[in-house]
Structure 1
Amino acid sequence: MLKLSGVMPALVTPFDARGLVDFAAFGKHLADLRAAGVSGWVPCGSSGEYNLMSDPERESVLRFVKDFALPGETLIAGTNAPSTSGVIANTLRAKEMGYHAVLLAVPFYTKPTQAEIIAHFKAVIAATDMDIVLYSYPGKDGVEIGYEALDALADEPRIIGIKESSGILQRAIGISTRYAGRIQLVSGSDDIAWDFMQWGADSWICGPANCMAKPVCEMDAAFRRGDHIRAKEIMTAIWPAMNVLESGKFVQKLKYGCELQGNPVGECRMPFGPLTDAEKAEFAAAMQPILDWT
């Protein structure tokens, strides 16, 4: 089983003034994240506006990130689609490029039953033979990858982990204890990431890493070396910004945070709307300890 560890940013996708993917800005962004200590890359997830891009754009983003990656950096591609056949096609393209795994939520818009979720993921495994990190985000997808589905998938060798983004700590504890040694718990609820670490999450697929990579990587490193006091101190320092992120317009705030860090990555695509001046001021104030990070 592929062992997942460290902070892997759920990457934003930079766009230029014309609304096209800005690969120059993307390269600078990735270089800054690498310098901060990330362990891998997760392009074309929800933070990357994958659902607002065309198939050729998604493929170009995946290839760019793959070409940038160094040996030893974990590569996890978002390959979601509205249909099982679309997920299979996207996953096969990522596999051909050399990605180590894919990150998959339930197909969006459909709100499948647990039985349909099981059948969907088994079909993807059968058609692709690719390692899968499940992505449970009921607030966005309208349905949870529940214990019924996880029980049925836990012994599938290709199901290697689950990014748990419900924001409910009890779910993280339940997954960690119920599937120990079978499904890796991946932190996906950023404002309680320290708590996830306490319950065995060795990896963090982290949207906020786009604009606060140094402290989140330092927090992860402190926890791994056993300095739990320092890890909690860092979580306390960054929690206000995390909390503002979780209050709404998450992707817009990620991109504004990159701008605050001196690495503008453009605006989000419609239907995402811009931040108001008040929203910018609120997030900038919460980000100040991060901007001052040394």
Structure 2
Amino acid sequence: MLKLKGVMPALVTPYDEKREIDFIALKAHMTNLRAARVSGWVPCGSSGEYNLMTDEERDSVLQFVKDFALPEETLIAGTNAPSTAGVIANTKRAKAMGYDTVLLAVPFYTKPTQAEIIRHFNAILDAVDVNIVLYSYPAKDGVEIEYEALDALADHPRIIGIKESSGSLQRAIGIATRYAGRIQLVSGSDDIALDFMLWGADSWICGPANCMAKAVCDLDRTYRAGDLVKAKEIMSRMWPAMNILESGKFVQKLKFGCELQGTPVGECRMPLGL
């Protein structure tokens, strides 16, 4: 099983003044993140506005990130779509580029039942030889990947982790204890990231890494080094910003934060506004 570790930015997608993908800005942005010693890359997730891009645009971003990445950096492609067939098609193209792992939420807008969720992910596993990191984000998707579905999927060798973004520490603890050694817990609730680490999350797919990469990487490395007191201090300093990000307009705030840090990535595409 691929071991997920460290901070992997859920990359924003830079746009120019015409709202076209700005690959020059993306290269500068990723170079800056690499300097903070991130462990990998997660393009075309929700922070990357994947649902506001064409398939061709998404493929161009995935290819750019694949070409930029170093051999030791983990690559996880966002290949979500509103239908199972669309996810399979996106995932096949990502696999052909060299992505062996994908990040998948439940299909948006559909609010599937747990039985439908199980059937959806099994169909993808049958169709494409990739690892899957599940993404449970009920506030955005309208449905949680519940224990019923996780129980059914946990022993598949290519279901390797779950990015848990419910914001519930109880849920994170439940996953960590119920699926220990079977599904890796991945931090996806940024304002309680240290709590996730305490309960066994060795990796963090992190939107705020776009605009505060050094701080989140320092937190991760400090905790791994065993200095919990200093880790709590770092988390305490970051928490107000994390809380602001979680209060709404998440992607817009990430992009504004990048501008404040000196690596502008443009504004979001409509319908997202300031």
Which TM-score applies when normalising by structure 2?
1.00
Aligned partner of 2:174 in structure 1 is 174
Misfit runs of 4+, over 6 Å: none
SS in 2 for 1:7: strand
Partner of 2:201: 201
For structure 1, the residue ranges without an aligned partner over 5 or more in a row are 275-294
Aligned to 1:144: 144
Partner secondary structure for residue 181 of structure 2: coil
SS at match of 1:185: strand
Please report how far the alpha carbon of residue 230 of structure 1 lies from its aligned counterpart in structure 2 after TM superposition: 1.1
Letter in 2 for 1:24: I
Q: In the alignment, does 2:94 pair up with 1:94? A: yes
Q: CA deviation at 1:257?
A: 0.0
The 1-side partners of 2:3 and 2:115 are apart by: 28
List gaps (5 residues or longer) in structure 2: none
- Cα shift at 1:41: 0.1
1:100 is displaced (CA, Å) by 2.8
* Distance in structure 1 (CA, Å) of the matches to 2:44 and 2:232: 30
Paired residue for 1:79?
79
Q: How does 1:121-270 map to 2 (within 5 A)?
A: 121-270=121-270
**Matches of 1:205 and 1:227 in 2, distance apart?**
22
Contact 1:258 1:265 in 2 (8 A): yes
- Say which SS state the counterpart of residue 270 (structure 2) adopts: coil
- Write the letter of the residue equivalent to 1:32: N
Superposed CA deviations along residues 148-199 of structure 1, whole A, max 9, x for unmatched, are 0000000011100000000000000000000000000000000000000000
Counterpart CA distance in 1 for 2:149 and 2:252 is 32
**How far 1:129 moved relative to its partner?**
1.6
Within 2, Cα distance between the matches of 1:222 and 1:264? 28
Query: How far off is 1:138 after superposition?
Result: 0.2
Deviations 1:108-132 (Å, cap 9, x if unpaired)?
A: 1100000000000000000002100
Displacement of 1:248 in angstroms is: 0.5
Query: Structure 2 CA distance, aligned partners of 1:171 and 1:264?
Result: 35
CA–CA separation in structure 2 for the residues paired with 1:77 and 1:236: 31
Contact 1:7 1:217 in 2 (8 A): yes
- The 2-side partners of 1:108 and 1:248 are apart by 19
Deviation of 1:141 after TM superposition, in Å, equals: 0.1
State the alpha-carbon separation in 2 of the partners of residues 191 and 16 from structure 1.
Answer: 30
Contact 1:74 1:100 in 2 (8 A): no
Identity %: 79
Q: CA RMSD in A?
A: 0.4
Query: Residue 229 of structure 1: CA displacement?
Result: 1.0
TM-score normalized with structure 1 length: 0.93
Q: Which amino acid aligns with 1:41?
A: W
Mapped to 1, the partners of 2:95 and 2:173 lie a distance apart of: 31
1:26 corresponds in structure 2 to 26
Provide the rounded CA distance (Å) in 2 between the counterparts of 1:256 and 1:174: 35
CA distance in 1 between counterparts of 2:31 and 2:100 reads 20
Structure 2: which amino acid aligns with 1:143?
Answer: V
**1:219-241, CA deviations, whole angstroms, 9 ceiling, x for partnerless residues?**
00001111111111110001000
Secondary structure (helix, strand or coil) at the match of 1:226 reads coil
Partners in 2 of 1:76 and 1:107 — Cα distance?
A: 18
Q: C-alpha distance in 1, partners of 2:195/2:32?
A: 27
Compute the displacement of 1:99 (Å).
1.2
Larger RCO, structure (CA 8 Å, separation 6 or more): 2
What's the secondary structure of 1:264's corresponding residue?
coil
2-side partners of 1:217 and 1:231: how far apart? Answer: 11
Amino acid corresponding to residue 254 of structure 1 in structure 2: L
